[in-house]
Chain A
Amino acid sequence: MKKLLLATAATSLMAGTAFADGHAKEVKLGIILGFTGPIESLTPSMGDAAELAMKEVTDSGLLLDGAKVTPVRGDSTCVDAGAATAVAERQITGDGVKGIVGADCSGVTGAILSNVALANGVVMVSPSATSPALSTAEDNGLFFRTSPSDARQGVVMTEVLMEQDIKEVALTYTNNDYGKGLADSFQAAFEEAGGTVTINAAHEDGKADYSAEVGALAAAGGDRLVVAGYVDQGGSGIVRAALDSGAFDSFHFPDGMISAKLVENFGSEIDGSSGQHPSPSEELSQRFTDLVGGAFEATSPFTPESYDAAALILLAMQSAGSMEPGDYKDKVMDVANAPGEKIQAGELAKALQILKDGGDIDYVGATDVELIGPGEAAGNYRVVGFEGGAEVTAGRK
């Protein structure tokens, strides 16, 4: 029995070494997204997009002399910080991932960053966490995001409203990290620009009736009502109640509200309203849609951002000539920004070759990536207007 145990141990030890040798050229990347939970309808295409970038790199055979990139999926749940940190811990210590694409929602992203990624020194690139609080979180240069901070959206919103000469607005937000963060950053930017926010009130999602909330908003008054909510949730309820009671007849909608559903719900009743949402130019999104070729929903929110997140990690590795997070974390900003040759989505092989030859690249990708400040996307917004019951593009910022 003892011999048998010894023999088994020895064999497994040898097998282990052989296994490691055979896969010395394997790079594992974690994909931690909320595959269950409140944004479960968005995450499948986000995960697919990240894996598309990895496959593209693997197929090129150029990363670190032919390394193979293997994705490891994990469920962030979007809301349960405990579950999300456990998944990240397991991926880093168990699977040995060298970087993480994720997480998705702002709350769990912050939890993984401070509890797991910092302690283990692993790079995280989130495609969709937009809370302004993450800009100032302690990250040792390990955290990046390919989506813009809502601090930026607050400034864009202010510009849009100021250009239309609107100086006084009422503001309501959905009562969570997203809504609160966006509402506060907008209020700060708007007041700095000389505007007045007459009321900044929360609303709860999933209620049947918002007439009391609208009563308070109407009492405070304003030229326009800013609704920082979700179109499938309380946001539409607020708009409905405001229109019904005649409290407001024009609105401003941030990204959570811009959707085909909005026009479907309200048609020409919201004519004269405005809004904005992060969106790459038509040209880039068309290019990415062609690249995906119908394998998944290419224009779904945060899907192109997921492709870019995975691509950035891999390009930084190539630039540093190492798959260790400690080596490549300083290269992320370099590959994302000028100077260098512009790299579109689908041109990762070309980028890897340039980096291998010691050249510089400026990654554009699916969303025109430009990292600013603490490593977050500068953000390109499409300004929308509503005319004759339809949503129209009113400019870009």
Chain B
Amino acid sequence: MDFLNALVAFLNFVLVPGTAYGAQLALGALGVTLIYGILRFSNFAHGDTMAFGTMFVILITWGLQGLGVSFGPLPTALLALPFGILVCAAFLLITDRFVYRFYRRERVKPVVFVMVSLGVMFIMNGLTRFIIGPGDQRFADGERFIIRARDFKEMTGLNEGLAIKTTQGITLVTAIIVVAVLFWFLNKTRTGKSMRAFSDNEDLALLSGINPERVVMITWLIVAALATVAGTLYGLDKSFKPFTYFQLLLPIFAAAIVGGLGNPLGAIAGGFVIAFSEVTVTYAFKKVAGYVLPDALAPSGLAQLLSTDYKFAVSFVILIIVLLFRPTGLFKGQSV
């Protein structure tokens, strides 16, 4: 019984939130890694692209709610998601047409591209705040829980409760679907193959007749979809605030680099590595240890490695260790 209690406490406070957070980071990191692999620069505007896309999902959700449309037990935002993706994609294509294409034609160094993306980041940052404001927005509706902590305790008779939020479930399911579709697209379709060829060797790809503008366009479309989905899931599960999306940039880049920049599989692994490191390193294991260990050995302190204030520092440390000892990441990506 004690062992089960320990397991449930661990599930409730580490595994379930860590998995949902990991899936959100993985989707964000996939976008970063695709841009790095195909367009060959680190897109600093990614966090704000997420905020920008999510903002439109929220606005459309509010519109749908106003019209009385609902999605039963699921959040209405899922219905609004495709429209949000379209608006975000349109904006990214316009940005590419008027900003990035010029620098691509000039064949500027990657570092110039990074600075350009920084500028785009500030513009999107400002636009988002201008349209929806800098404050917190809540747009989740529908059933809040799959299992409530109190119900779980009554059902099982355990001391510890397990709560799984609907948004956590949706996050995981959506992430699996999106990743499966993406990998099928990259590996099986003609367009996906041409994108991978372009990523591997640009000149060879051009020689074999691949249209670079088309590859670039499709990349932006996929990135818009990934960013909007990741942002909406994060916002549903936690809350939407432009500044927190900007801060997400750090763990997302950490995830992409840890996994290996340019490698989609690595981005997913990296997302979960970062998420679980953040959660486990800052979790106080007192309760779990108290159940498992005999009384004499049970810790009197909190058994917490780092205070939760240092959550973001964990991604920094992992980033530095990986860059020092394995610059290409866990799965062989391009070195930074």
Chain A contact residues: over half helix, strand or loop, or mixed?
Answer: mixed
**7 A-B Cβ contacts within 8 A?**
A199-B302, A208-B244, A216-B304, A220-B302, A245-B12, A246-B149, A246-B161
- B196 within 8 Å of A by Cβ? no
- A72 within 8 Å of B by Cβ? no
Contact B309 A204 (CB under 8 A): yes
Residues of chain A from 171 to 211 with CB closer than 8 A to chain B in the complex: 175, 199, 201-204, 206-209, 211
- B52 within 8 Å of A by Cβ? no
Residues of chain B from 254 to 292 with CB closer than 8 A to chain A in the complex: 278-279, 282-288
Contact A246 B148 (CB under 8 A): yes
Residues of chain B from 238 to 264 with CB closer than 8 A to chain A in the complex: 238-241, 243-244
- A141 within 8 Å of B by Cβ? no
Q: Which residues of A contact B304 (CB under 8 A)?
A: 216, 219
Contact A212 B241 (CB under 8 A): no
Q: Which residues of A contact B335 (CB under 8 A)?
A: none
If the complex has contacts A219-B13, A244-B163, are A212 and B238 also in contact, measured as CB distance less than 8 A? no
- B129 within 8 Å of A by Cβ? no
- A89 within 8 Å of B by Cβ? no
If the complex has contacts A213-B308, A244-B163, A246-B149, are A208 and B239 also in contact, measured as CB distance less than 8 A? yes
- B326 within 8 Å of A by Cβ? no
Interface residues of A (CB under 8 A from B): 175, 199, 201-204, 206-209, 211-216, 218-221, 237, 244-247, 249
State the Cβ distance, A314 to closest chain B Cβ, in Å. 40
* 3 nearest A-B pairs in the assembled complex, by CB-CB distance: A246-B149, A219-B284, A246-B161
* Interface range, B side: 35 or more
Q: Which residues of A contact B309 (CB under 8 A)?
A: 175, 202, 204
Tally of A-B residue pairs with Cβ under 8 A? Answer: 89
- B234 within 8 Å of A by Cβ? yes
Residue of A nearest to B145 (CB): A244
State the Cβ distance, A10 to closest chain B Cβ, in Å. 57
Residue of A nearest to B303 (CB): A219
Q: How far is the CA of A8 from the CA of B278 in the complex (A)?
A: 72
Query: 13 new A-B pairs (CB below 8 Å) besides A211-B17, A218-B13, A237-B239?
Result: A199-B302, A201-B307, A208-B234, A208-B238, A209-B21, A216-B307, A219-B304, A220-B302, A245-B13, A245-B149, A246-B148, A246-B162, A249-B150
Contact A212 B311 (CB under 8 A): yes
- B104 within 8 Å of A by Cβ? no
- B182 within 8 Å of A by Cβ? no
State the Cβ distance, A97 to closest chain B Cβ, in Å. 36
- B99 within 8 Å of A by Cβ? no
Contact A215 B284 (CB under 8 A): yes
Contact A212 B279 (CB under 8 A): yes
